Chains A and B, each alone.
Chain A
Amino acid sequence: MTAEVYRKRGRSVRREGQNLVWVDEAGEAVEDRGRFRTRTLDEAVEVSAPEAAGVEAAAREIESIVNAPLTIERLLVSEGVVTHEFGEVEWSETSRRVHLSISRPPLRVIFDLAQFQFDAIRTAAVALMRAGSERPAPRRIRLSAHVGAALLPFLAVQKSQTAAPRDGKGQPIEPHRVTNERPPNWFRPSYRVRPRRAWFHLRVEEFGEIDPGAPAAIALLASAGRREIRLLCVERDAVYPATVPMRPILAARPAEEWYPYGAGAFGAELIL
């Protein structure tokens, strides 16, 4: 078996708190007979520059949404331009990411986004201002699409891999029903990380009926777990935190927006 050589060259800019961080990197990963080696290529990065103005504007927009008594606990907004090379295959991509936590002690809402569109943050910020004390989990709850996306990688529900140009080894990502079998594609979030098999760009398959009158979970209060999830819930005029145990999904409806959970997940409105 010949060695597999992957190279990545990229430029990124990120707003982290009040800092603006520019990073240029070019690196190589080699897998040879089970051994994984990476190194910096020590070369000028010939990739177009990301747009700092867009990143700064997005960060400012988020800051304008979050008003006292809410505070921004953590804010990262970034754009990256990357070229990949695996054997003879070359491809490129531009990506945007937002990681945000907004606090109002003892609560914190968290967001991971791949677009500079902040409607969900606006809704959650308004609700967090009015949040009351903890309540028991509602009998039925409707998860907003961005909340459902966070659960999708480990949710036992019918879902499919969605087509995309390339995986971490330059192979096309074909549509595929997610099964318990080994995923056909490879996920490589960084050249410094050994690639692993993963299902890409998960999309939930629609079933059942989404009850618009059910209490709504509009934001995650902690990273999604396999056993339970901490959610900010809205029920008529009340806003409250609740811990919801994982239980069977009663209905699902896919959404168009993509989120950076696992190797990618599309929004999923769910009744839980």
Chain B
Amino acid sequence: MFAMVRRDELWVRGVLDESRFTQGQALTRGREIFARDSIDDRTLRGELRAACDAEMDRFYRSIESLKNARVRGIVTATTGGLESTITITVDGISVVTTPDDVISDYQALERLLRPPAAPPPARSMPIVWRNGSAAVLLHEAIGHAAEHAHSPLTWPRWLLARDITPEGRSADLIAGEVPMAIRRESFRDVPLRRMTNLVFEQVRAPWATPAGRIEVFLVSGGTYEPLTETISIDIAIADLVRGKKRERVAPFTIRASRAAIARALIGAKGKPVRYPGVICSREGQELFVGSHAPVMVTSELA
């Protein structure tokens, strides 16, 4: 039996704009799921509500100083644990974070925001994926391919890719293992095998900073097309760097096959950096997926 209580609030420039309270349970018998928006077990309902409300208090405290942003907090207490996400949007650019990291992620977003000074490059260039953003690229190219049980590719030997559940169970995605967790967005949904917390690491990877390059800091979206095994990544904040000259470029989209991405991944350095959030949508269910990757470099994606 699955049960959940969720509070979802949208604050716009410090004022509460929308709030939603949802609860429900789902009983699975064979191939049938019986879902309804009440919880039979009163004790369980009380516990889930209390956990949700306590986390909402933490959410309120964490966003007190964010008066010029659009802030959406979603706290879900389930029989499987507690999940808390905060989406901050400033000038149309969003990051997804948690109460623990919201202030530092907000400050980092503010530092990154400035209007583009140049169009996106007319031709493909090497890309340095900073701020953990390579986790989004590899989420699509490795993570979704693993969810779809697509054949493993040959990735650089220095790359490790794991999806880790809250209980610590880990899947080696490069070896073709599928994510361990069965997740669902709500009691109304069919549970699916989904990514939970992606950690990409490098072990003695080569590194050379290309003189001419794009440096990516934030990504606004990504998709994996399972029929063609192609990836599309929408870049929200990136700089064009040529020698000592650095210019902010307008948002652009990268499209490539996952095989092309595997070939293009030519270097990495440092420890995995937490990327501020990925909301992953599949089968109409939106789920938060933790994302970590070191700074990585890809050669020109033709």
Contact = CB atoms under 8 A, between A and B. Distances in A.
A16 interface: yes
Nearest to B10: A36
A25 B36 contact: yes
B21 A40 contact: yes
B56 to A, nearest CB: 14
Interface in A30-46: 34-43, 45
B64 interface: no
B35 A42 contact: no
A108 interface: yes
Contacts of B21: 38-40
B32 A19 contact: yes
A22 B32 contact: yes
B79 interface: no
Interface in A107-144: 107-108
A217 to B, nearest CB: 20
Q: Chain B at the A interface: mostly helix, strand, loop or mixed?
A: strand
Contact of B228 (A40, A42, A74, A105): A105
B147 to A, nearest CB: 14
Interface stretch (B11-19, B91-99, B122-130, B239-247): B11-19
Interface in B1-39: 16-24, 31-38
Interface string A38-62: 1111110100000000000000000
A264 interface: no
Given A23-B36, A105-B227, A35 B190 contact: no
A36 B20 CA distance: 8
Q: Chain A at the B interface: mostly helix, strand, loop or mixed?
A: strand
Nearest to B21: A39
B36 A35 contact: no
Given A37-B20, A105-B227, A108-B227, A19 B38 contact: no
A176 interface: no
B188 interface: yes
Range, interface on chain A: 20 to 34
A42 B32 contact: no
B24 A40 contact: yes
B167 interface: no
B283 interface: yes
Contact of B37 (A40, A106, A107, A108): A40
A260 to B, nearest CB: 14
A166 B19 CA distance: 26
B33 A34 contact: no
A21 interface: yes
A177 interface: no
A20 interface: yes
A17 B38 contact: no
A149 B188 CA distance: 29
Contacts of B227: 73, 103, 105-108
Contacts of A26: 37
A194 interface: yes
Contacts of A38: 19-21
24 contacts: A17-B190, A19-B33, A19-B190, A20-B33, A21-B188, A22-B33, A22-B34, A23-B35, A25-B24, A25-B37, A25-B188, A34-B17, A35-B18, A35-B19, A36-B17, A36-B19, A37-B19, A37-B20, A38-B19, A38-B20, A39-B20, A40-B24, A105-B227, A105-B228
Given A20-B31, A36-B18, 11 more contacts: A19-B32, A20-B32, A23-B35, A35-B16, A35-B17, A38-B20, A42-B23, A42-B38, A73-B227, A106-B228, A107-B227
Interface of B: 16-24, 31-38, 188, 190, 226-228, 283
Interface of A: 16-27, 34-43, 45, 73-74, 103, 105-108, 192, 194
